Amino acid sequence: MSAERSEIEQFMRGLEHRNPHEPEFHQAVQEIAESVMPWYLAHEDYRKAQILERVTEPDRIISFRVSWETDDGDIRANRAWRVQFSHALGPYKGGLRFHPTVTQSVLKFLGFEQIFKNSLTGLPMGGAKGGSNFNPKGKSEREVMRFCQSLMTELYRHIGEDVDIPAGDIGVGTREISFLFGHYMRLQNRWTGVLTGKGCSFGGSAVRMEATGYGCVYFCEHMLNHHGEGLEGKCIAISGSGNVALHAAEKAVEKGARVVTLSDSDGFVYVREGLQQEHLEFVKDLKQNRRGRISEFAENYRGAEFHEGEDPWRVTCDIALPCATQNELQENDAEALIRNGVMAVCEGANMPLTAGAARLFAAHNILHAPGKASNAGGVAVSGLELSQNAMRISWSHDEVDSLLQKIMTEIHLSCVQHGTSHGRVDYVRGANIAGFKKVADAMLAYGVF
Ligand SMILES: NC(=O)C1=CN([C@@H]2O[C@H](COP(=O)(O)OP(=O)(O)OC[C@H]3O[C@@H](n4cnc5c(N)ncnc54)[C@H](O)[C@@H]3O)[C@@H](O)[C@H]2O)C=CC1
Ligand SMILES: O=C(O)CCC(=O)C(=O)O
């Protein structure tokens, strides 16, 4: 066994022992450890300062009960967390997720990834994530409002514009951010940019809603261009039908690609001719306002097929954009995509590939952009929202979009710079080393911290 391999195994054994029953967190750390270990071992100062051991231990985890009342007057209790992982590069920053699958392990993996993603944006932001096992599906507007207000009644003590600035994620969109923000103001009696993803008429930034999906397509285009290819005419399979999936689809269609799928947890829709803007508007209204299922799209449009209980990875495509959730694309899905000729996989979601699927793509030289690089556009525009709030100004759509494009270009360059060997770019390694190095240097500069 090589020295590197045995260091990784020894490090992971210790981490698993200290953090039992947290498989998602182990997976996210293992990916970073595999990428950075050779470089880490070559730098005695980082090793001596125990950077890897310290950066995998959250600064703190706040866990609390959220009690709320249903419309029928019944009392419910959920569990919520805020994982403040690292503020080495700036105030804690990262979304809130409301979904029944939320656990401490899921939020630790997301908070950990957020440290390096935020580092890649070049903006001064640390890494955090939070959320609750609350399921918004089937809840009335008033129930969601009462839940958000109860959650903020505890969370407000732990956040602040220079301390920790939450935002949205799965199950938390503009509606939820508005309820949370309104309640924060009531509790604190002051207006401050303590959350991002706010409505544009009350301190939100232009393009924040679109930024993750648009940024993912900008990154994908750079990755293709760098390898002598382009987006125009490419067939794209997208999973999910939420904020990230729909805006990725919108930008890809605008750039002349043929987007053939969208999905939710019930199944996927397939449109051979490619989705049009009119279809995307229908799904936006369906998901954001009517809160319906993707199958309703197929019921309303001839030529759209609904595949119940399946994910979209068996359709023939050039590019796959997984934009739903973690570990949604597994080894057998990767095999099917490779068999069908996929050339690039660009992650809109956080850690949507299992480790086995990622290994298969690497072994077949398929271009693979990890979420911490390709979906960083969302948090980057959140960073720009913070700047606008601090300056009490609003930038136009075009101003923010051009800054977003610039940031995605820089992130792509960082991946190329740190991930190229023998003429091939390993985007996973490049993103991990580029993101990690800045955090490690800051920790070193702070001394014992
Ligand atoms: N909203 C943002 O700005 C950012 C989001 N992300 C990531 O993108 C992904 C999607 O987030 P959003 O679009 O914001 O959330 P959303 O709540 O708007 O949409 C989530 C989508 O994923 C699907 N989904 C969720 N759980 C699923 C499951 N178990 N099986 C199949 N489908 C499932 C839902 O049906 C929905 O279509 C997540 O991984 C999130 O962490 C990453 C960066 C920023
Ligand atoms: O905008 C933000 O602060 C966080 C976005 C997020 O949660 C993510 O990048 O996964």
Q: Which domain holds residue 231?
A: 209-374
Answer yes or no: do 81 and 161 share one domain: yes
CATH of the domain at 187: 3.40.50.10860
Ligand 1: nearest atom to the Cα of 262: 37
**Residue 443 located in a structural domain:** no
| Domain assignment of residue 428, yes or no | no
Clarify whether residues 100 and 223 are in a common domain: no
Mark which of 191, 218, 242 sits at the end of a domain. Answer: 191
Instruction: Determine the distance separating the centroid of ligand 2 and the alpha carbon of 166, expressed in angstroms.
Output: 8
What's the pLDDT score for residue 442?
A: 98
In a domain, 396, yes or no: no
pLDDT in the model for residue 449: 83
The pLDDT of residue 11 is 97
Residue 421 lies in a domain: no
pLDDT for 349-359, tens place per residue?
999 999 999 99
- Nearest Cα residue to atom 10 of ligand 1: 324
With beta carbons less than 8 A apart as the criterion, state whether 401 and 215 touch.
Answer: no
Instruction: Check whether residue 76 and residue 131 sit in a common domain.
Output: yes
How far is the centre of ligand 2, averaged over its atoms, from the C-alpha of 106 (Å)? 14
- Answer yes or no: is 401 within a domain: no
Q: What is the pLDDT of residue 3?
A: 83
* Last residue of one domain, picked from the residues 191, 217, 232: 191
**Are residues 223 and 182 located together in one domain of the fold?**
no
- Mean residue pLDDT across the chain: 97
What spacing in Å lies between the alpha carbon of 114 and ligand 2's midpoint? 7
* 3-class secondary structure, 2: coil
| Catalytic machinery residues | 129
Could you read off the pLDDT of 95-141 as tens digits, one per residue? 999 999 999 999 999 999 999 999 999 999 999 999 999 999 999 99
Statement to judge: residues 26 and 41 lie in one domain: yes
Is 130:124 a contact under the CB 8 Å cutoff? Answer: no
388 domain residue, yes or no: no
d(CA 144, CA 135): 9
332 C-beta neighbours (distance < 10 Å), count:
14
pLDDT, tens only, 390-412: 999 999 999 999 999 999 999 99
* pTM: predicted TM-score of the whole model, two decimal places: 0.98
The answer to whether 130 is annotated as binding is no
Last residue of a domain, one of 374, 396, 412: 374
Flag whether 170 is in a domain. yes
Give the pLDDT band of residue 15 (cuts 50, 70, 90). very high
The dihedral sign for the CA sequence 301, 302, 304, 306: positive
* Range 309-320 average pLDDT: 98
Residue 45 and residue 73 in one domain = no
Ligand 2 in contact with 121 (CB < 6 A)? no
The answer, yes or no, to whether any atom of ligand 2 lies below 6 A from the CB of 86, is no
End-to-end CA gap in the chain: 34
Measured from the Cα of 212, ligand 2's closest atom is: 9
Considering the domain boundaries, does residue 68 fall inside one? yes
* pLDDT at site 423: 86
Tell me: do 50 and 66 sit in the same domain. Answer: no
Do 328 and 361 fall into the same domain? yes
**Sequence-distant (≥ 6) Cβ neighbours of residue 385 within 8 angstroms:** 193, 196, 197, 198, 203, 204, 205, 208
> Given ligand 1 and candidates 169, 262, 294, which is best to mutate, with the most ligand atoms within 8 Å of its CB?
169
50, 67: one domain: no
Same structural domain, 314 and 224: yes
**233 and 360, same domain (yes or no):** yes
pLDDT confidence band for 339 (50 / 70 / 90):
very high
Expressed in angstroms and rounded, the spacing between residue 49 Cα and the centre of ligand 2 is: 29
CATH number at residue 275: 3.40.50.720
**According to the model, what pLDDT value does residue 360 have?**
98
Measured on CA atoms in the order 152, 154, 160, 163, is the torsion positive or negative? negative
Q: Is 216 in the pocket of ligand 2 (CB under 6 A)?
A: no
Q: In terms of domains, do 338 and 214 share one?
A: yes
- Residue 2's pLDDT is 85
Segment 145-161 mean pLDDT = 98
Lookup: tokens for 209? 């809603």
Q: Across residues 19-47, what is the average pLDDT?
A: 96
Residue 351, pLDDT score: 98
In degrees and rounded to multiples of 5, residue 127 shows phi and psi of -115, 135
Number of domains in the chain: 3
Give residues (CB < 6 A) around ligand 1: 168-171, 212, 240-245, 264-265, 323-325, 328, 348-350, 375, 378
